[in-house]
């Protein structure tokens, strides 16, 4: 197993990558599920009006996400159904990795960041499209928020 260097990742995502690298291979799906379970509950305003969020079309399951910018700190809200735990894990990892960063820091995250987490072999490259699509949409939303 070669581990991809995570040097360009922000600290939160680098920590996720390190977490997977430090976990025996046979335990990594369990770890991914733990991340899925850490997805933050959706604020009421989005529960009431899901259309305020953006549908991540790259995901096989319905994933909605929105990146808010509060005092130049990015806050990601996302929701996906319980029967889509992999998708929930992707969303949760983005929250852990990106929340609290500045817009500039989020925009500096490499597009390939999800592929550097050490989970591609675990879930298959095709399934990783949902994660890269999610990051791309978050970055687009942040870009729109800082340069309206």
Partner 1 sequence: MSKVPFDPTAKFQEYATPGALVSTEWLAANLNTPGIVVVESDEDTLLYETGHIPGSVKVDWHTDLNDPVSRDYVGPEGFAALMARKGISRDTTVVFYGDKSNWWAAYALWVFRLFGHEDVRLLDGGRQKWEAEGREMTKEVPVRAASSYPLSPRNDTELRAYREQVLEHVSAKGCMVDVRSPQEFSGELTHMPDYPQEGTLRGGHIPGAKSVPWKRAANDDGTFKGLADLRAIYEGEKGLAAGDDVIAYCRIGERSSHTWFVLTYLLGFKNVRNYDGSWSEWGNAVRLPIAVGAE
| Closest approach of partner 1 to the CB of residue 59, in Å | 7
Identity of the residue, 44 or 51, whose beta carbon is nearer to partner 1 in the bound complex: 51
* HSE value, Cβ hemisphere, 13 Å, CA-based, for 7: 1
The answer to the question of residue 79 lying near partner 1 (CB under 8 A) is: no
| Closest approach of partner 1 to the CB of residue 8, in Å | 26
CA-CA-CA-CA torsion sign (45, 47, 39, 116): negative
Q: Are 20 and 120 in contact (CB under 8 A)?
A: no
The size of the interface with partner 1 (CB under 8 A), counted in residues, is 27
The answer to the question of residue 124 lying near partner 1 (CB under 8 A) is: yes
The answer to the question of residue 114 lying near partner 1 (CB under 8 A) is: no
Give the whole-angstrom CA distance, residue 77 versus residue 43: 8
Sheet with 54-55: strands ordered across:
54-55, 64-70, 73-79
Q: Which of residues 52-71 bind partner 1 (CB under 8 A)?
A: 57-62
> What residues make contact with partner 1 under the rule CB under 8 A?
29-30, 32-33, 36, 57-62, 82-87, 89, 121-124, 126-127, 129-130, 133
């Amino acid at each position: 197993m070669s581990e991809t260097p995570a040097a360009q990742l922000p600290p939160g995502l680098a920590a996720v990558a390190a977490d997977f690298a430090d976990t025996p291979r046979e335990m990594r799906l369990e770890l991914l599920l733990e991340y899925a379970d850490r997805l933050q509950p959706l604020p009421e305003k989005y529960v009431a009006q899901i259309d305020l969020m953006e549908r991540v079309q790259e995901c096989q399951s319905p994933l909605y996400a929105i990146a808010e910018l509060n005092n130049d700190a990015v806050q990601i809200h996302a929701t996906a159904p319980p029967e889509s735990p992999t998708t929930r894990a992707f969303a949760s990892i983005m929250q852990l990795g990106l929340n609290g960063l500045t817009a500039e820091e989020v925009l500096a995250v490499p597009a390939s960041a999800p592929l550097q987490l050490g989970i591609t072999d675990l879930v298959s490259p095709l399934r990783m499209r949902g994660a890269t699509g999610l990051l791309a949409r978050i970055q687009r939303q942040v870009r729109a928020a800082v340069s309206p």
